[in-house]
Amino acid sequence: MVKNEELINIMTEDLKRALKKPADKRVWVMAIDIKKCIGCHACTTGCMSENLTPPGIQYRPVRESEIGTFPNIALKFLPRPCMQCENPPCVKVCPVKATYKREDGITIIDYNKCVGCRYCLVACPYGARSSDVGAYYTGKFKKATYEVESSQEYGKEWARRNHFCSPVGNARKCHFCIHRIEKGVLPRCVETCLSNATYFGDLSDPDSLVAKAVAKTNTFKYKELLGTKPRVIYIT
Amino acid sequence: MTLLNMNLPDIADIKKVVTDILKGKGGLALNLSIIGIIMGIYALSRLLIEGHGAVTNTSSLVPWGVQISTYVYMVLLSTGCTFINFFGYMFYRKEYEMFGTRILFVGIFIAFAGMGALATELGRMDKMIYFLLSPQPKSPMWWMSVWYSIYVTLKLVELVNHKRGKHSDKLLWITFIVAIITYSNLGSVFGIVEQRAYYFGPLLPIYFLMLGFLTGAALSTIIASAHFYKSDTEFQNHVRPFRNSLRIGLGIAIVATFWRLVAGMYAQAEGYEIFKLTFMHTFFFELLFALAIPLVVSYFSTCQRCMIVICSFILITQFKIRTDLIVGGFKIPVFKAYSIPDIVSYMPSHVEFFVVIGAISAATFIYVFADKIGFFEGEEHIHG
C-alpha cells in the first residue's frame, strides 16, 4: 500500500508541474474516494484551522448516512467541499459580481465587494456556502486571540476583529485553498485525509495522480443532473 | 401653501400637528406608530453596533428571514396599491378619484419602508454602493434594484403631478406596466432558484403579482372605509370599487394558492416534500382561513366597520403567509450533514421583530401625519 507521504509527494509534484502551465490551461479537480473515507472528519477540522472559520461554518462537512437494515447495516460518508462548478449558479445570482470564476476555474468570493445579501447561499444546490454572521467560539465581547487572527484566504490577511471587518457579514465557502496551491502546497483537506481518500490536481495532465485515479474507477458527480458540471468527482 | 406649483399644507398646520404630537395629543395611530418607530431605531442601533449576526436568528441554513419577508410583503402591498390606482382610474374614475392621491402616497412610502427592512438584512450595508459600481446583469436581484428605482421615481412624479392638480393617464399606464415588471422581477429572484423547490418555477412571479393585488386591495379598502361618510348609501357607493377589487383579489389568490399547492404535491423531485410537509397549513390556514372565509364574509357583511375588520384580517394573515413562503424555502436543507437537522426551524429574534414593527410604523406614521396636516385636502377632484 502506498503511504500517505508518498501520495502527497506525488500530488505535490503534479501540482508544481500544473502551476507552470498558463492558468486557463489548468483543470483543477478534487477526487474523493468514498470507499476509503472513514468519516474521521480530519478534513473538516483541518480546513477549519486553515481558514479560521467561526462557529457554524464548515467549508468541508462530511455527510454520514446509514444504509441497509439491521443487522446488515453500514455507514457511508460523503465529504462535501465546494464543487467548483463549471456552470456555477452562485456566480449568476450575485448582484455585485463579488463571486466569480477565476481563469483556472476556481470560484472565489471578493470579500471587499460582497454585500452579504446571501442570494448565493439560496442558489447553491450543494449548500456549500455559509454566511459569516460574526459568531465567535469564545463569545462576542471577550474573544480569544485565535478568534481574531488573520486567515490567509485568497492570499490576503483577513482578521475578524469586529462586524465591519470582512469576512464578517460576507458569504464564505471552500476555495480549494488557492492561497496554498499558488505556493505549490496541496489543499489542507488533502494533506490531512487519514485514509488517502482525497486526490487533488490538474485533470488535463494525464500523468497526474488525480487523472489516473479518476480514469481507472467508477465515478459520479454530486447532483450532476442539475447541469452545474461540478469539478469534485466522487470515486465509488 | 404653494411650492413649485404644488398644493402643499401650510407651515402653521404642520406646526400644530407637531405640537400636538409632542404634547401626546397626536391620536392613537400616531402615538402607536411613534412607539413602533422607536422600537425600529433600537433594532437598527443594535444591528449597527453589534452586527447582523449577533442580533438576528438567520443563519447559513436560513439565510433569509422575517426582514426579507417584510420587504416582500411591503413592496407587494405597494404594487397592489399601484394596481388599485390603475384600475380605479380606468374603470371607476368617479368613485375612485377622491382616494387617488392617498393610495398613491401610501404606495410610495410603503415601498420605502420595505426597502429599509431589506437594507437591515444585508450582512454589509456599507457595501451597497457596489450595486452601482459592479453591476451583474445576470442577477435578478440586481435588476430588482434597477426596476425598483424606476418604479419609485415614477410614483413620485405621479404624486407631484397630483399635487399640481394634474393627472396623466399615460403616466398611469407606464407606472402600471413598470409595477408589473418590477414585482414579477421580485418573484423571479425566488422563482429562478432551481434547488429550492418551494420557490422554483414560472408561477412564482405571477403568484407574487396576484397576492400583491390582494393586499393592495385590502389596504386601499381600509383607507377608503376609514373616510368620513354622511350615510351608509354614500359609503357603499364609494367603497364599491375597492370591495369588488378585494373580492377579485381573494378569488385569484385562492386559485393561485390552490394550483401551486396541487403542483407541489404531485412533484416527486428532491426537495418537493416541503409541499407535503406544509400541506395542512397551506390548505387549512392559507386557503380556508385566510382566503375563503374573508371572501364569504365580504359578501354578507358590507358595513364600514366590517370592511375594516375583514381587510385588517387579510393584511395580518397575508403577512404570516408571506413569512411562511420565504422561510419555507429553507425548511428542507439542500445538504444534510451530521450537524444539520432534517427539517430546519427558524424563529425571528426580538430585534428582527422590532425591524418589522419599525418598518410598518414608519409607513403608518407618514400616512397619518400627512393626513393630519391636510396633505390630501383638495385632491378630491383631479381630472385627466
| pLDDT tens for each residue of B181-233 | 998 999 999 999 988 999 999 999 999 999 999 999 999 999 998 887 777 78
| pLDDT tens for each residue of B54-103 | 888 998 899 999 999 999 999 999 999 999 999 999 998 888 888 999 99
Q: Note whether B265 and B275 are within 8 A (CB).
A: yes
Which position has the higher pLDDT, A159 or A19?
A19
Query: Residue A92's CB: how many other CB atoms inside 10 A?
Result: 16
- Sign of the CA dihedral with A140 first, then A142, A144, and A149 last: positive
pLDDT mean over A6-21: 94
Q: Does A71 touch chain B (CB under 8 A)?
A: no
Partner-chain contact A226 B58, CB within 8 Å = no
| pLDDT tens for each residue of A88-125 | 999 999 999 999 999 999 999 999 999 999 999 999 99
Q: Does A129 touch chain B (CB under 8 A)?
A: yes
User: What are the cell numbers at B202?
Assistant: 414560472
What percentage of chain A carries pLDDT values higher than 70? 98
- Sign of the CA dihedral with B188 first, then B189, B190, and B195 last: positive
Instruction: Write b or e for each residue in B240-268: b if 16 or more Cβ atoms lie within 10 A of its Cβ, otherwise e.
Output: ebbbbbbeebbebbbebbeebbeebeebe
**pLDDT surpasses 80 at B272:** yes
Spatial separation of the C-alpha atoms in residues B378 and B117, rounded to whole Å: 33
| pLDDT tens for each residue of A154-205 | 888 888 777 778 898 899 999 999 999 999 999 999 999 999 999 999 999 9
| pLDDT tens for each residue of B111-164 | 999 999 999 988 888 888 999 999 999 999 999 999 999 999 999 999 999 888
Q: Does B149 touch chain A (CB under 8 A)?
A: no
Nearest Cα residue in chain A from B200: A123
Of B144, B263, B151, B148, nearest to B203 (Cα)?
Answer: B263
What pLDDT does residue B384 have?
40
| pLDDT tens for each residue of A43-67 | 999 999 999 998 889 999 998 888 8
**pLDDT surpasses 90 at B320:** yes
**Three-class SS of B83-144:** HHHHHHHHHCHHHHHHHHHHHHHHHHHHHHHHHHHHHCCCCCHHHCCHHHHCCCCCCHHHHH
Q: What is the dihedral of CA B296, B302, B305, B311, to 10 degrees?
A: 40
User: What are the cell numbers at B176?
Assistant: 402600471
**pLDDT surpasses 90 at A152:** no
What pLDDT does residue B68 have?
95
User: What are the cell numbers at B114?
Assistant: 420595505
The C-alpha of B343 sits at a distance from chain A's nearest C-alpha, in angstroms, of 14
What pLDDT does residue B379 have?
59
**What letter would DSSP give residue B168?**
-
Q: Note whether A235 and A33 are within 8 A (CB).
A: yes
Mean pLDDT (chain A) is 91
Q: Does A159 touch chain B (CB under 8 A)?
A: no
Q: Does B2 touch chain A (CB under 8 A)?
A: no
Q: What is the dihedral of CA A225, A229, A230, A233, to 10 degrees?
A: 80
Of A207, A183, A162, nearest to B54 (Cα)?
Answer: A162
| Residue B114 main-chain phi, psi, to 5 deg | -60, -40
| pLDDT tens for each residue of B243-256 | 999 999 999 999 99
Partner-chain contact A116 B126, CB within 8 Å = no
Task: Give residues 53 to 72 of B whose Cβ lies within 8 Å of A.
Answer: 53-54, 56, 58-60, 63-64
Distances (CA, A) of B231 to A206, B286, B305: 88, 35, 13
pTM of the model: 0.91
Partner-chain contact B195 A226, CB within 8 Å = yes
User: Chain B contacts of A95, Cβ < 8 Å?
Assistant: 131, 135-136, 139, 141-142, 145
What pLDDT does residue B382 have?
46
Q: Note whether A96 and B131 are within 8 A (CB).
A: yes
**pLDDT surpasses 90 at B172:** yes
Of A173, A153, A190, A170, nearest to A15 (Cα)?
Answer: A190
Q: Note whether B256 and B132 are within 8 A (CB).
A: no
Decide if the complex's ipTM is over 0.85: yes
Spatial separation of the C-alpha atoms in residues A8 and A191, rounded to whole Å: 7
Partner-chain contact B54 A163, CB within 8 Å = yes
Of B26-35, B52-61, B125-134, B308-317, the range with the lowest mean pLDDT is: B52-61
| Residue B360 main-chain phi, psi, to 5 deg | -65, -40
Contacts of residue A95, Cβ cutoff 8 Å, sequence gap at least 6: A115, A117, A119, B131, B135, B136, B139, B141, B142, B145
CA angle B175, B178, B180 (to 5 degrees): 110
Mutate to test the interface with B, among A133, A158, A234 (most CBs of B within 10 A): A133
User: Chain A contacts of B325, Cβ < 8 Å?
Assistant: none
What pLDDT does residue B53 have?
79
**pLDDT surpasses 50 at B383:** no
Q: Note whether A199 and A191 are within 8 A (CB).
A: no
Residue type, A77: F
The shortest CB-CB distance from B335 to any of A95, A97, A127 is to: A127
Distances (CA, A) of A214 to A105, A204, A218, B37: 18, 12, 8, 60
The shortest CB-CB distance from B53 to any of A95, A125, A134 is to: A134
Task: Give residues 195 to 214 of B whose Cβ lies within 8 Å of A.
Answer: 195-196
Mean pLDDT (chain B) is 90
Place of cell 398613491: B104
Of A110, A107, A105, nearest to A22 (Cα)?
Answer: A105
Partner-chain contact B64 A118, CB within 8 Å = yes
User: What are the cell numbers at A198?
Assistant: 482525497
Q: Note whether A226 and B194 are within 8 A (CB).
A: yes
